[in-house]
Homo-oligomer: A and B are copies of this chain.
């Protein structure tokens, strides 16, 4: 593997050819190494059915490669051209209200449409046939941002047909499906798989088992759609295959897609995401208006590093991943779009590298003065003058140029699980019970304590690398994980709602959490409106969700009125398993995770508001998300400041918690 690199997304088709050489010269001058192109070019590569035009793309690749830049080439399947849609008008998705999601922007296809899948194989084959062995192309991106704009699900006839076949494969008989879903409940039984409908437009909520099955199916369709492309590509290229995932996208299981790819990547828009995808207090949003939430990016870095380890059986600490699109300035799509604080475009990249990113590509080179994203900043302004992001990108490029990618193994593992996201979306039981938000509550607590995390899938069978394992809201605990918990020699903190559902979205017997060695039963659950937080005796409160716990295990957290809130027991492996029967507010989460971490022998810190830290094999990186300067053990950090402190024996300060390898 080569060293860390910085890059950019480029759209040669948007500019006159005469502009390319100067663009490319400036990219190289800024120290950029990777350039992604091509992911939306179908109408230019095949302007009419079967009439290919590769000349301009040949020339663009040539200009880039001549300047020493490595090309990442996208397959253009996220934007089928008009002539293709007109040939098969039923290829578009239908939304939940039954309306077509039509041509005119992007992602206007249904993952289940066989005709469109054939067209995708054809165009990818044509592209791969031409460029697969071209050494100038060092990686391929499949499609673009699967699931974005709520496109993982479709209620089209094609989806219905594919879902019926999926059900036939999964359940084998209509009776088995009826039993699995509990269709007897409201006479919802089917006599044949072709009676299975999609779970939309029902009078009141559809059977949650039906919905969960449909979500599983929809996820599988994304994975198989991607696989059809990787199968075509693998035969024609040895370059890395990548997809660029989105932030806060839970429409499909990313590990399933990742299993067919060499590298994971994601598109990181910290300020946009803070504005439109995080359910956090207004005051928090005000504080981080121009910086983004301090933990949102890190969480996704750790998640996609794990996704990047899916293909080759690597450790989640060691997965291969990139940022394919990094916000460089104001974006165009959030409700409000403030400009980043000076320095943030650099900070965000350094945070990514600290979490192990191989490459960080800024989106995009020059701001397009036309079409949907014309208000999205680039590294250049529309008039080709450097935008603020360019200097920051160049600065990072210089700083990381000679460094090997990598990050330190996590001290804490957080189990993240897409089916759990679907389960709680299907039946939240409380209007604000949101799985990713719950996971971020625990993630944030550990980060505020200065701990390094790995995000791991629910299928993990060995927890021994992590002194502390967090398992919030895991709907179903698979057998392998169950065994790993029992065998674990350190700390496990699970709940709320752990193991609360079978894989078919039913309440299991024995009742939850049914965790190994823990005599604890959830006798009753309740969801709470915002005004009804329940204070914990030890500080903080349960919010949104509370479970009544029974059993003989040790009570380690109690409500102020004495009722148990968490119970714990020794594991077979000699560790300790704690089950928390509620959603902790930030104060409770910090207190409880601190206690667990300390019990696990981890050194914790009290980081100032907005400061975060992450270790790599060679450095401890300090990041300041605050808009004011902050003091850290490594020195004073200006707003958006980054200190990369080498990890050496002599560099350790006495006052500082020891960095445990």
Contact = CB atoms under 8 A, between A and B. Distances in A.
A548 B339 contact: yes
B182 A375 contact: no
B100 A99 contact: no
A249 to B, nearest CB: 14
Interface residues of A, number: 108
A185 B43 CA distance: 10
A441 interface: no
Given A289-B529, A374-B506, A506-B369, A335 B431 contact: yes
Interface in A75-108: 76, 79-83, 86, 93, 97-108
Query: Which of A104, A337, A508, A525 has the most chain B CB atoms closer than 10 A to its own CB?
Result: A104
Given A82-B195, A100-B201, A195-B82, A372 B185 contact: yes
Interface of A is mostly: loop
A398 interface: no
Interface string A312-354: 0000000000000000011010011111000000000000000
Contact of A382 (B282, B330, B511): B511
B330 A526 contact: yes
A289 B532 contact: yes
Contact of A203 (B43, B151, B336): B151
Nearest to A377: B524
A285 B529 CA distance: 10
Contact of A83 (B182, B191, B388): B191
Contacts of A531: 282, 285-286, 289
Given A185-B14, A336-B527, A369 B197 contact: no
A2 interface: no
A146 to B, nearest CB: 13
A44 interface: yes
A182 B106 contact: no
A339 B369 CA distance: 50
B208 A371 contact: yes
Contacts of A383: 509-511
A86 B526 contact: no
A427 B372 CA distance: 9
A526 B338 contact: yes
A596 B405 CA distance: 58
Interface in A167-218: 181-191, 195, 197, 199-210
A336 B432 CA distance: 9
Nearest to A107: B203
A573 interface: no
A464 interface: no
Given A431-B335, A524-B339, A186 B149 contact: no
Nearest to A374: B507
B195 A509 contact: no
A508 B369 CA distance: 7
Closest 9 CB pairs of A and B: A182-B370, A185-B371, A369-B507, A43-B187, A104-B202, A79-B187, A182-B371, A335-B431, A105-B202
24 contacts: A47-B191, A82-B190, A98-B99, A99-B201, A102-B197, A102-B200, A102-B201, A104-B197, A106-B203, A108-B203, A148-B204, A151-B203, A185-B371, A205-B372, A207-B372, A285-B529, A286-B531, A332-B429, A336-B529, A337-B526, A370-B507, A381-B511, A382-B507, A387-B524
Interface of A: 13-14, 40-44, 47-48, 76, 79-83, 86, 93, 97-108, 148-149, 151, 181-191, 195, 197, 199-210, 275, 282, 285-286, 289, 329-330, 332, 335-339, 367-375, 377, 381-383, 385, 387-388, 427, 429-431, 504-511, 523-529, 531-532, 548
Given A44-B189, A108-B203, 17 more contacts: A14-B185, A40-B185, A48-B191, A76-B187, A79-B186, A81-B189, A82-B190, A105-B206, A107-B203, A181-B371, A182-B369, A183-B371, A185-B373, A285-B529, A369-B506, A374-B427, A387-B523
